[in-house]
Amino acid sequence: MASADVEDFIGQNRLLSDFVETFRGVSESDKHWKSRREFIFRNITDYEEQPRVDHLLALSMVWANNVFLGCRYNPELLEKVSEMAEGIVVEDAPVFKTRDELIQQQKQQI
């Protein structure tokens, strides 16, 4: 589902859209929320029952935290959320370097 497809889906599914909007974090930026909302819409049909919706929301936060904040998680978990987010385009996503990459970069500059 491309971003335009997500917007069309939202327009055609107001009740579901209103339900998903309740999951937005109070301090979540528009950019962050737009991407996480797309993640949720892309995967909601696999997680429609209540306990599973909670699981989907947790996965959406793992994905968003990794993309926007550089948080690290178990490699299998990151692989799963990356697959779930396949096709989501995040404009101006930050690029993070690990501590080891920063040290290596500093050594090369000396």
Instruction: Quick: pLDDT tens for 13-22.
Output: 778 888 889 9
Q: What is the pLDDT of residues 38-81, one digit of tens each?
A: 999 999 989 977 789 999 999 999 999 999 998 999 999 999 99
Question: Could you give the number of structural domains in the chain?
Answer: 1
Please state the pTM of the whole predicted model: 0.77
DSSP state of 27: T
- State the residue range of the domain holding 94: 3-109
CA distance 57 to 40: 7
Return the closest-CA partner of residue 30 out of 83, 91, 88, 72.
91
Which residue in the block uniquely carries the two structure tokens 């935290």?
Answer: 65
